[in-house]
Chains A and B, each alone.
Chain A
Amino acid sequence: MAQATHGGPAESGTRRDFLNLMTTSLAGFGALAVAWPMIHSLNPSKDVLALASVEVDLSAIEVGQAVTVKWRGKPVFIRRRTEEEIKQAEEVDLATLRDPQPDDVRVQKPEWLILVGVCTHLGCVPQGQKPAEPRGQYGGWFCPCHGSEYDTSGRIRRGPAPLNLEVPTYTFESDTLVKIG
């Protein structure tokens, strides 16, 4: 029979508990180390991240014209506002707004209004980009799904939408080149 050369039952008990604890903890750590790559593989992959930004050349857009680009699978409205549209946006009384925001926090250059073209109500794409489309009473955009109307700063003025149209992160790489995202 094997001799218990290492102390009595109590001591060998704690040493055994220690070893069991170590083994179990290491196994648990190993399991987590394996689980992380599996979970992280579901995060956006490199090719998706490569399309996370889009650069838009603004030189072809005339004053009063609007352009829609696709960014991260969603439409982005770029409108080159007229003097009148800018003035309209700046003169609105903030107290009347459901989601009060002054125009100057929503644009970097007043001439260029860049918004995510997704209605904040239930996600339809509002109309108003093309000349023939209705813009609603406030000169911005009109959502045909449930009648939300946005103004020339993309703020919600009427209808069920709770928030203004989202302003994405963008940087002007030059006067005619903007990088969205």
Chain B
Amino acid sequence: MAAPVFKNPVIRWIDHRLPIFSYLHHEAYEYPTPKNLSYWWNFGSLAGVMLMVMIATGLILAMQYTPHVDHAFNSVERIMRDVNYGWLLRYIHMNGASMFFIVVYIHIFRGLYYGSYKAPRELLWQLGVVIYLLMMATAFMGYVLPWGQMSFWGATVITNLFSAIPWVGDSIVTLLWGGFSVDNPTLNRLFVLHFLLPFVILAVVVLHIGALHRFGSNNPLGIDTKGPQDTIPFHPYYTVKDMFGLGVFFIFFAFWVFWAPNALGHPDNYIPANPLSTPEHIVPEWYYLPFYAILRSIPDKLMGVIAMGASIVILFFLPWLDRSPVRSGTFRPVFKWFFWILVFDCVILMFCGKYAPEAYWTPFTFEIVDAATFTERYAALAGLSHEAALNAVGEMWGVNFASGTFGIKIVRLGQLATIYYFAYFLIILPLLSIFETPKQVPLSISKPVLGGGRAAAHAAAKPMEKA
């Protein structure tokens, strides 16, 4: 590719000595992109935009925040009340975290469905998992900073998990705390790390995009681009499409910021942290709920922590667990089912993470009831004594369809959902690689397939979606 000739002489002068403009022109302007990308491919750029939004608002907020246990809560309230537009910046940052995770989860599931993790994009996928882990750490630390009840107790619970590590666990926790409990030293260091990590994320994002540009984007058909007939330059096609996607996304974002700014959070975090009083239910932010459910599924503390960690670590190995030669779920009819079950499984895990493990979910009446109430109802409706009811309800679930008191313990539901989650990656995907008969894959993005399935021909004739 010949270097582009820039009209502006200043740009030419700089570019001759430091070819940054030529580089950007190649990577973001001419960059050949598959011409059939759907809107599921907008979420990567949305994630990049959200990272910028979080860094920008975070920097300004950090100028007004005080990372000391005696002043943190009040400094945040000062931002909300006295700083010009402080409430706006705070709510953008707070809801921006949720938006960032929504966008990234969709981006991840896009990758799972279309096989974007398969060769030669394994490292790209793994860098993405690293970004995700860094995001989880950053968000956790950020949530501690306002020093509300949930900030403090969430920090206590999560840092306490490290005590599960044999022999050195307690020492590690003391090291993390800088004391004998979560206190000022902890807050100070979490603030510094929360400030630092987004820039580490930025660096990994640069690597992530570098790895992407090595082989180019995947596409909904999952087949490689064969030449210029299959690609279009990134600018103006995908720049303008990303602009449109950005507009739609910002409308969604604006709704939360301006009309429901606290809906995704927890009210207890508006109570200043009190080490002597534990909230009734310690609940993490919604984007951790599935992992919280996995953690609580396993009665043993260490095994629970390992399971929770494994649920993310397993993603690093995905390219080798799923060896199907067909990338895209479009051509994998059995895989599709299991994929969608995984999606709903994650939603179920989120549900289980939110409620007390000992509570019962009664699906027919759509309620969450605590164990005592459930046993009472069961006894009354089944005509049993309280003791008999207790035995009947037992460990698993209470079943009495006739009187409609069917309920399942949240922890049990969570266990079932956890089993499916791990089974998907460790059993289902490897087995599908061997036993699934995929549909016929088209020869190329542009050319229609010769013969083959109706779906494949249909896909080739319509190379991309109409907006």
Direct A–B contact in complex, judged by CB atoms less than 8 Å apart: yes
By a beta-carbon cutoff of 8 Å, the part of chain A in contact with chain B is 20, 23, 27, 37-38, 40-43, 45-48
A39 to chain B minimum Cβ distance, whole angstroms, is: 9
Q: How many residues of B contact A (CB 8 A)?
A: 17
A41 with B64, Cβ < 8 A, contacts A20-B240, A23-B243 known: yes
Most buried by A among B63, B78, B82: B82
When distances are taken between beta carbons in the complex, the residues of chain B under 8 Å from A42 are 60, 63
When distances are taken between beta carbons in the complex, the residues of chain A under 8 Å from B88 are 37
CA–CA, A45 to B88, complex, Å? 14
Q: Is the C-beta of B365 less than 8 angstroms from some C-beta in chain A?
A: no
Most buried by B among A20, A37, A41, A42: A41
The answer on a CB contact under 8 Å between A38 and B60 is yes
A38 with B82, Cβ < 8 A, contacts A23-B243, A27-B243 known: no
When distances are taken between beta carbons in the complex, the residues of chain A under 8 Å from B236 are 20
Q: Is the C-beta of B390 less than 8 angstroms from some C-beta in chain A?
A: no
Q: Which residue of B lies closest to A38 (CB)?
A: B60
CA–CA, A38 to B240, complex, Å? 27
B87 to chain A minimum Cβ distance, whole angstroms, is: 10
The answer on a CB contact under 8 Å between A41 and B243 is no
Q: Tell which of B81, B85, B240 touches A41, judged by Cβ atoms closer than 8 Å.
A: B85
Q: Tell which of A38, A43, A46 touches B81, judged by Cβ atoms closer than 8 Å.
A: A46
The answer on a CB contact under 8 Å between A41 and B89 is yes
Q: Is the C-beta of B159 less than 8 angstroms from some C-beta in chain A?
A: no
CA–CA, A38 to B79, complex, Å? 12
The answer on a CB contact under 8 Å between B78 and A45 is yes
B239 to chain A minimum Cβ distance, whole angstroms, is: 10
When distances are taken between beta carbons in the complex, the residues of chain A under 8 Å from B388 are none
Q: Tell which of B63, B81, B85 touches A37, judged by Cβ atoms closer than 8 Å.
A: B85
- Interface residues of A: mostly helix, strand, loop or mixed? helix
Extra inter-chain contacts (10) besides given A37-B84, A37-B89, A41-B86, CB under 8 Å: A23-B243, A37-B88, A38-B56, A38-B85, A41-B64, A41-B83, A41-B89, A42-B60, A46-B81, A46-B83
A58 to chain B minimum Cβ distance, whole angstroms, is: 30
CA–CA, A43 to B78, complex, Å? 14
When distances are taken between beta carbons in the complex, the residues of chain B under 8 Å from A41 are 60, 64, 83-86, 89
The answer on a CB contact under 8 Å between B86 and A45 is yes
CA–CA, A37 to B86, complex, Å? 8
CA–CA, A117 to B84, complex, Å? 30
Q: Tell which of A23, A27, A45 touches B83, judged by Cβ atoms closer than 8 Å.
A: A45
A38 with B86, Cβ < 8 A, contacts A23-B240, A23-B243 known: no
When distances are taken between beta carbons in the complex, the residues of chain B under 8 Å from A48 are 82
What are 9 A-B pairs at a CB distance below 8 A? Answer: A23-B243, A37-B88, A38-B57, A38-B89, A41-B64, A45-B64, A45-B78, A45-B84, A48-B82
Q: Which residue of A lies closest to B88 (CB)?
A: A37
Chain B 23-80 residues near chain A, CB threshold 8 A: 56-57, 60, 63-64, 78
When distances are taken between beta carbons in the complex, the residues of chain A under 8 Å from B81 are 46
When distances are taken between beta carbons in the complex, the residues of chain B under 8 Å from A27 are 243
When distances are taken between beta carbons in the complex, the residues of chain A under 8 Å from B57 are 38
The answer on a CB contact under 8 Å between B60 and A45 is no
A154 to chain B minimum Cβ distance, whole angstroms, is: 34
When distances are taken between beta carbons in the complex, the residues of chain A under 8 Å from B63 are 42
Q: Which residue of A lies closest to B90 (CB)?
A: A41
B177 to chain A minimum Cβ distance, whole angstroms, is: 33
A30 to chain B minimum Cβ distance, whole angstroms, is: 8
CA–CA, A166 to B254, complex, Å? 48
CA–CA, A40 to B84, complex, Å? 6
The answer on a CB contact under 8 Å between B82 and A45 is yes
CA–CA, A79 to B60, complex, Å? 42
When distances are taken between beta carbons in the complex, the residues of chain A under 8 Å from B86 are 41, 45
B121 to chain A minimum Cβ distance, whole angstroms, is: 31
B21 to chain A minimum Cβ distance, whole angstroms, is: 19
Going nearest first, the 6 A-B pairs with the smallest beta carbon separation are: A37-B85, A46-B82, A45-B82, A47-B82, A45-B83, A40-B84
B273 to chain A minimum Cβ distance, whole angstroms, is: 23
A47 with B78, Cβ < 8 A, contacts A38-B56, A40-B85, A41-B89 known: yes
When distances are taken between beta carbons in the complex, the residues of chain B under 8 Å from A43 are 84
CA–CA, A48 to B82, complex, Å? 8
When distances are taken between beta carbons in the complex, the residues of chain B under 8 Å from A20 are 236, 240
B51 to chain A minimum Cβ distance, whole angstroms, is: 15
CA–CA, A43 to B63, complex, Å? 12
Most buried by B among A23, A45, A48: A45
Q: Which residue of A lies closest to B81 (CB)?
A: A46
CA–CA, A40 to B87, complex, Å? 13
A1 to chain B minimum Cβ distance, whole angstroms, is: 12
CA–CA, A20 to B241, complex, Å? 12
B448 to chain A minimum Cβ distance, whole angstroms, is: 15
B46 to chain A minimum Cβ distance, whole angstroms, is: 15
Q: Which residue of B lies closest to A30 (CB)?
A: B250
CA–CA, A38 to B60, complex, Å? 7
CA–CA, A47 to B86, complex, Å? 13
Q: Which residue of A lies closest to B250 (CB)?
A: A30
CA–CA, A47 to B81, complex, Å? 9
Q: Which residue of B lies closest to A35 (CB)?
A: B56
CA–CA, A20 to B60, complex, Å? 32
CA–CA, A45 to B86, complex, Å? 9
Q: Which residue of B lies closest to A16 (CB)?
A: B236
CA–CA, A38 to B83, complex, Å? 10
CA–CA, A129 to B168, complex, Å? 63
Q: Which residue of A lies closest to B61 (CB)?
A: A41
Per-position binary interface string of chain B over residues 77-111, scored 1 when its CB falls under 8 Å from any chain A CB and 0 otherwise = 01001111110110000000000000000000000
